[in-house]
Structure 1
Amino acid sequence: MKIPLIAASLALVTACAVQTPAEVHTVTLPETSSVLAEFVKGERAIPDSTADCKIRETRTANGVRLEAIVQADYAVRGSYDFTVTAQGPGGSSDVTQGGEVDLADGESATVGSAEFSGGRYRAVLTLRDAGGELCFTEQLS
């Protein structure tokens, strides 16, 4: 009688010691009712198209103004780099801007700008978060 009781006790202790798999929760993200993310061990799976980088060109009385605009589908805390190399009648110029970005869901922000007398230019805008590059754009005149 003792052997079956010991065997049953060992089976019970072994069953209790087995770890259960990580808890998985599925939720709907705000602003995107059809997009689901899983929270596994505290990590969030983010959809592929999460951010957009744009460079807006505006003609001014003095030449050209370029504005760096970032937009995110979900809250983003990261950094941006905006670089403009321009060559015109007055010579050449290099503008490098960068800094921190904190966007709410669906928010857009103008993060940098440069104005120069015209001519040819190359502008590059990159947005990154802790996971890496979210978006990149290059504009040439």
Structure 2
Amino acid sequence: MNCDIVRVETPSSIELVGKVSSPVPAEGSFHFVIEKQGPAGRSDITQSGDFLVGSDSTEEELGRVTLDTDPGAFYVAHLVVEWQGGEIDCRYDSRN
């Protein structure tokens, strides 16, 4: 089981997309937390739920967040994926 947080840029926004992949069918739950911090303040977004990676698909999108591009702002995202076989977590930090 693998997880990833993908950054997609547009001219006016940034999308952070949580993904999970598995070579075999799997199911479990996820918790996706995004923190945006900048000159205008701080905001936190949380998404969670269940997922199923079936035999016909080895990758599933777990969450998607669209954020405004603010000069001087940074974004930190944390994705925790749990299933019967264990737990993994992925992090994304726009400062790195």
Distance 1:88 1:113 in 2: 20
TM-score of the two chains, using structure 1 as the length reference: 0.58
Instruction: For 1:125, give the aligned amino acid.
Output: L
Q: Which has the higher contact order (CA 8 A, sep 6+)?
A: 2
User: Counterpart in 2 of 1:38?
Assistant: none
Give the gaps of 5 or more residues in structure 2. Answer: none
Distance 2:12 2:47 in 1: 21
Distance 2:8 2:34 in 1: 14
TM-score of the two chains, using structure 2 as the length reference: 0.83
**Correspondent of 2:76 among 117, 122, 135:** 122
SS of equivalent residue, structure 2 residue 24: coil
Which has the larger Rg? 1
**Correspondent of 1:139 among 89, 92, 95:** 92
4+ aligned runs moved over 6 Å, structure 1 = none
| Bigger helix share | 1
Give the gaps of 5 or more residues in structure 1. Answer: 1-50
- Measured on the aligned residues, the alpha-carbon RMSD in Å equals 1.5
How many matched pairs? 90
| Bigger strand share | 2
